[in-house]
Amino acid sequence: MKAKVIVTPKKTVLDPQGNAVRDAMRHLGMPEVRNVRIGKYLEIDLDGKNVDLEKRLDDLCRDLLSNPVIEEYSIERLSE
């Protein structure tokens, strides 16, 4: 199975890295840029078809790949 995980700051959390990128983009000729949010993108290849595989992946995303206080994540199954 292959899964795509996207981790982003929660909407209510300030994103200083995103603001720095936004400012640089404006400075480099794109004044139309209103907002930039920086996150993490992971593609994960998994072996097996265990029934609880998705549940365990969700647990790992919550406990390891994201900080649930300031980040949210989504998991998308790409293939078997």
Give 22-51 pLDDT, tens digit per residue: 999 999 999 999 999 999 999 999 887 777
List strands edge to edge, sheet with 40-45.
40-45, 2-9, 71-79
- Residue 64 pLDDT level (bands cut at 50, 70, 90): very high
Radius of gyration of the chain (CA): 16
The SS3 call for residue 37 is coil
Is CATH 3.40.630.10 correct for 2-79?
no
pTM for the full predicted model: 0.81
Residue 79 has pLDDT above 90, yes or no: no
Q: Which DSSP symbol is given to 4?
A: E
Strands, E assignment, 1-80 = 2-9, 40-45, 71-79
